[in-house]
Structure 1
């Protein structure tokens, strides 16, 4: 339940940060946390000090301070407080749900009992620490627009995304399975934590003489020159397949197609490439761009193959 409570507190802080204006504040405690400053040039293995400072800007005391801290998967809590309950969550996240009971008078400032220290994990890349605060007791915060803060942490790390060459054999009229596989060889985990957008696109050009007759859900039909075909699912000459928003180090992302051989050729070659989902030419984190593309080869089977 502690993780659920922390999640609710963070969610309320996120919504308030998007909508709060600070106008029309009612009497009561008004806890505020400063905007987070990005941390750059961070190395895996570093230990960071993340500032947490809460000021009561209202005209009533707060009956204690609730603090919820969420760390992304590339950051690990080093400092742990007795006043906090820690809950691991999927995707490597961790919540700290804390309550500090001392009253916070108007104009007074609260800091954690010891500086919040976080270790940068070996797979860190684009990380974040989200902090949300609220008054204790039954009081509502007079202005929730400044109850949430994010510290973005940019670690200097790399991730080698690669695709695997595929070779298939099929006679005319035969349907053959094709798994398009891209792998993050690490060491960094790559994730779009804020936007939730795909980390990468797998761009598949269908081999000539074949037709895609089964297409994965996360793949969209395209023309040869990359224009969408929204009303078409199968039989397109090209597909763009979206990876998840988080691809851990060592993970494989598989897109299972089925190709039907319409015209058996001795060898027909298509192409698969993993590339940035935002349209960029290359991944800024990838040290080996030469393995981002590979052939998809379909060889004809039997005497029906046409040279």
Structure 2
């Protein structure tokens, strides 16, 4: 692709030169507030990421990225407006507070057009209320640059939130009230503030205050389903002062709620932002009395934090159940079996901190049989086919009534009457699984005639044969054509695959078991904590 694409890009660039300059935009954060009370983030990380935005569709394929313009250009970063305000660490060739970056190729979009980062820190002369700016411009033949101005402010309003503590004895289905508050630890007053309440899928806010508006996302990706409430307060929050809400905020938990995330935060209200907030698409304005803020005397700054959130309720349970299957076949015959995985509730399994970390379980073939086709989300458990068992992945988030099926194909290499293959969740101490007895099931081949007991249901009983013994005959226990179909994906979700080596998903709201690598997009600001390892050290709960 390289030479041809570049040649085509050169023609495209020439066309731009002949017709009109190519419009490009310098992008990056246009405002940075520097705190007088913190290190302003990781000292090695820039607050401004400069890029160039070029018209066109970004390249997403393999191979060399085609350019849409070829020709020298320069980017000039002028930070002289920060003298006496802040220190600036500039990219490229810098001479004091001015830096010049050069380039040749430009690509569609911004991904491949990074200029560099700007790191800002307090200087010895920095004082509350100081302001300055950085001006970034560009020039190049046949290019029309839109410049960027970065406004920098020192010691402006800086709002911290009153710490939260979990209510005692809270159960799923209960509602509870939380005392919320804010302290302005910045150097300047905040002329108005906005309160943001966020609750994941199992939480809601039943009260509708007049100065608040709400929105809900209750379809699509389960990780992103949430309720958001925004409340605006036009009054002044003095520097160094603390405030509390005139009444406690009520939060309702659903019957299926478990380790759902509640968070809140106060932020300065920008001029003209109030109407935009409440008139946003899909927002519902409250009709009740207004919430107000009351000043608090002698507030302890140690009780206020940047991030205020809770995982609750912690006392609900779910019931994971595996179901097996039975089949009969002669030597050399292939048979199909379907393993079931379901959540009997009452709780859903959010996996919100891990962004959808899956549950795993193992499936071993019965003695005398070999797997010849396996589901997409199952992968060989051993190394180089040394173990005939498979490791399967059940994605989270998982609805409270989720039903999944995992279809397998087996070849009967030799007939072993009543041969059993074990299907099992890990041997764990999971405090949320209410019935560990159904965490094991069996694949039974050529069962003896014993009415009412084929050994396929969830059970902790054992088979008469070694359930993990590899098949004999010409099978090698490596899973047949699983290499073509089994991806072993450890991420959850999707809309379900067909029964041809796929994973079928059913449940409430259609197929909604969507996982992925993204953490719950609620702006919670928390570190990613794997759900199955949830806070074992802090809470004393066993790892899942």
SS in 2 for 1:187: coil
User: What do residues 124-178 of structure 1 show as CA deviations (whole Å, max 9, x unaligned)?
Assistant: 222220223321217xxxxxx9532211223322222211121123344444333
CA distance in 1, matches of 2:242, 2:391: 51
1:272 aligns with 2:423: yes
Aligned 8 A contact 2:167 2:176 in 1: no
* CA shift in 2, pair 1:48/1:198, >3 Å: same
* CA shift in 2, pair 1:254/1:36, >3 Å: farther
Which residue pairs with 1:243 in the alignment? Answer: 394
- Pairwise mapping of residues 8-87 of structure 1 onto structure 2 (< 5 A)? 20=41, 24=122, 26-82=154-210, 83-87=212-216
* CA shift in 2, pair 1:56/1:253, >3 Å: same
Aligned 8 A contact 1:39 1:154 in 2: no
SS in 2 for 1:246: coil
Which residue pairs with 2:445 in the alignment? Answer: 298
CA distance in 2, matches of 1:76, 1:182: 29
Structure with greater proportional strand content: 1
Per-residue deviation, 1:28? 0.6
Aligned 8 A contact 1:190 1:199 in 2: no
Aligned 8 A contact 1:36 1:152 in 2: no
Aligned 8 A contact 2:191 2:236 in 1: yes
* CA shift in 2, pair 1:255/1:64, >3 Å: farther
Which residue pairs with 1:285 in the alignment? Answer: 432
Which residue pairs with 1:141 in the alignment? Answer: none
- Pairwise mapping of residues 187-202 of structure 1 onto structure 2 (< 5 A)? 187-196=346-355, 198=357, 200-202=359-361
CA distance in 1, matches of 2:191, 2:331: 76
Q: Which residue among 146, 152, 155 is the counterpart of 2:314?
A: 155
CA distance in 2, matches of 1:89, 1:52: 26
CA distance in 1, matches of 2:171, 2:351: 19
| Total equivalences in the alignment | 267
Aligned 8 A contact 1:199 1:247 in 2: no
User: What do residues 47-70 of structure 1 show as CA deviations (whole Å, max 9, x unaligned)?
Assistant: 211232121111222232223222
Q: For structure 1, which segment, 83-92 or 47-56, has the greater mean C-alpha deviation from structure 2 after superposition?
A: 83-92
Give the TM-score, by structure 2 length: 0.44
CA distance in 2, matches of 1:21, 1:55: 23
Q: Which residue among 216, 230, 237 is the counterpart of 1:97?
A: 230
Aligned 8 A contact 1:185 1:249 in 2: yes
CA distance in 2, matches of 1:178, 1:101: 64
CA distance in 2, matches of 1:257, 1:101: 62
SS in 2 for 1:86: strand
The unaligned stretches of length 5 or more in structure 2 are 1-39, 44-120, 123-127, 129-153, 272-303, 448-472, 474-544
Which residue pairs with 1:117 in the alignment? Answer: 250
User: What do residues 198-227 of structure 1 show as CA deviations (whole Å, max 9, x unaligned)?
Assistant: 36322212222222233333323213xxxx
Per-residue deviation, 1:102? 2.7
* CA shift in 2, pair 1:65/1:254, >3 Å: farther
SS in 2 for 1:122: coil
1:185 aligns with 2:338: no
* CA shift in 2, pair 1:209/1:98, >3 Å: farther
SS in 2 for 1:290: helix
Aligned 8 A contact 2:258 2:349 in 1: yes
CA distance in 1, matches of 2:398, 2:432: 13
Aligned 8 A contact 2:324 2:338 in 1: no
Which residue pairs with 2:268 in the alignment? Answer: 135
CA distance in 1, matches of 2:343, 2:236: 49
The unaligned stretches of length 5 or more in structure 1 are 1-18, 139-144, 224-228, 301-305
SS in 1 for 2:308: strand
Per-residue deviation, 1:117? 0.6
* CA shift in 2, pair 1:56/1:184, >3 Å: same
Give the TM-score, by structure 1 length: 0.74
CA distance in 1, matches of 2:230, 2:332: 60
Per-residue deviation, 1:86? 1.8
Aligned 8 A contact 1:201 1:241 in 2: yes
Structure 1 vs Structure 2 CA RMSD: 3.2
Which residue pairs with 1:258 in the alignment? Answer: 409
CA distance in 1, matches of 2:323, 2:421: 13
* CA shift in 2, pair 1:239/1:39, >3 Å: farther
Aligned 8 A contact 1:162 1:274 in 2: no
